[in-house]
């Protein structure tokens, strides 16, 4: 029998994909379907304030370049296929499997960098809007990009790569003239997270950490980061020992190999290029942790890792469907 969450998830995924497909999911070539522009013309021009000033978008954008590593998901959910996108290296085209139906048969261009993009490559795509809400470029690159097309960057006062999912979705939706749809996508995603919590009361008041082994130590993601936000949204808090390492100037904290006791808790989610990683073989000190002794260590698959890293209105449902059940099983 399907759980209530499973039914909601399938309904939500079909709904988002259906809206995008019915909107044309324009590939923004010269023969763009004009029906896809009917949602936003009346609201333009739109002015967006961001980290580097204010950008005015005069008309409904049709050829969008997404430089933010997760911005493409939002644009896709709103019915447009970007003419160029960046993305994490988990996926060949920079896009996760949750986008497959939305980009099927479309021409995609993967850009090399979100912080120092190839300006000639971007210009050759002839964009009428460049979105860098989840990007890391600075004011110099912003000015260079602005010579090509209007640019929407991260909100003022927000660190690079630290824009919350709800805020990023709303910002991109406003730039596309679809503010109401953006709010609706956020509400759907929040409802899915709430349903997951209600279906898994074992998540409440538990502690857990998302870690990435690197260079002989472990990066533990904070709640301000997408990966930390996923556990936090489910009601699973960071151990105090990890929080105490937070200096406020990064999205993660380093945990030395000899201090892995700090990540002990009810569940430990490990991100690695090796899905078969045995973390105790890498560092025998892990064997002393309660979370290891209770067999509550989860090594995420590449797709699961990507889903919580992108933390978008498209990837969160995927993460809830695939990763939440593994967390629930680990907490039994």
E-state strands within the chain: 46-50, 53-57, 64-66, 84-85, 129-132, 151-153, 206-214, 217-221, 236-237, 252-256, 267-270, 297-299
Whether residue 325 is predicted with pLDDT greater than 80 in this model: the reply is yes
Domain boundaries of the chain, sorted by first residue = 4-190, 202-330
Residue 42's pLDDT is what? 83
Q: Give domain 202-330's CATH architecture.
A: 3-Layer(aba) Sandwich (3.40)
Q: What is the pLDDT of residue 16?
A: 57
Predicted confidence (pLDDT) per residue in 77-133, tens digit:
999 999 999 999 889 999 999 999 999 999 999 999 999 999 999 999 999 999 999
Of the candidates 22, 39, 181, which has an alpha carbon nearest to the alpha carbon of residue 102?
22
Region of residue 250 (phi > 0: left; psi between -120 and 50: alpha; otherwise: beta): beta
Tens-place pLDDT, residues 129-185: 999 999 999 999 999 999 999 999 999 998 888 899 999 999 999 999 999 999 999
- Six-digit token string for 201: 């009361």
Q: Inform me whether the pLDDT recorded for 27 exceeds 90.
A: no
Domain 4-190, what fold? Rossmann fold (3.40.50)
pLDDT of residue 22: 39
Whether 202-330 and 4-190 are alike in CATH topology: the answer is yes
303-327: average pLDDT: 97
Q: Is the pLDDT of residue 33 over 90?
A: no
Average pLDDT score over residue span 44-56: 98
What global pTM score does this model have? 0.87
Q: What is the pLDDT of residues 198-226, one digit of tens each?
A: 999 999 999 999 999 999 999 999 988 89
């Amino acid at each position: 029998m399907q759980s209530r969450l499973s039914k909601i998830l399938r309904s939500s995924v079909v709904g988002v994909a259906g809206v995008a497909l019915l909107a044309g999911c324009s590939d923004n070539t010269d023969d763009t379907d004009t029906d896809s522009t009917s949602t936003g013309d009346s609201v333009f021009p739109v002015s967006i304030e961001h980290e580097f000033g204010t950008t005015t978008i005069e008309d409904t954008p049709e050829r969008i370049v997404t430089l933010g590593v997760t911005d493409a998901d939002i644009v896709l959910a709103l019915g447009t296929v970007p003419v160029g996108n960046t993305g994490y290296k988990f996926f060949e085209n920079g896009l996760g499997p949750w986008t497959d139906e939305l980009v099927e048969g479309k021409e995609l261009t993967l850009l090399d960098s979100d912080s120092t993009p190839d300006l000639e490559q971007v210009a050759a795509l002839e964009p009428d809007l460049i979105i860098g809400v989840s990007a890391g470029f600075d004011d110099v690159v912003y000015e260079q990009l602005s010579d090509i097309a209007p640019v929407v960057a991260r909100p003022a006062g927000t660190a690079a790569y630290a824009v919350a999912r709800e805020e990023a979705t709303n910002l991109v939706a406003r730039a596309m003239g679809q503010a109401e749809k953006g709010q609706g996508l956020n509400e759907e995603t929040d409802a899915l997270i709430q349903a997951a919590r209600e279906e898994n009361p074992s998540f409440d008041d538990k502690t857990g950490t998302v870690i990435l082994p690197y260079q002989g130590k472990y990066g533990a993601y904070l709640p301000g980061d997408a990966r930390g936000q996923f556990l936090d949204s489910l009601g699973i808090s960071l151990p105090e020992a990890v929080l105490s390492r937070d200096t406020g100037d990064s999205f993660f904290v380093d945990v030395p190999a000899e201090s892995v006791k700090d990540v002990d808790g009810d569940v430990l989610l490990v991100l690695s290029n090796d899905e078969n990683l045995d973390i105790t073989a890498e560092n025998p000190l892990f064997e002393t942790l309660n979370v290891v002794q209770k067999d509550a260590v989860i090594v995420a698959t590449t797709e699961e890792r990507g889903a919580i890293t992108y933390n978008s209105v498209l990837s969160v449902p995927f993460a809830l469907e695939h990763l939440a059940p593994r967390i629930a099983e680990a907490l039994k």
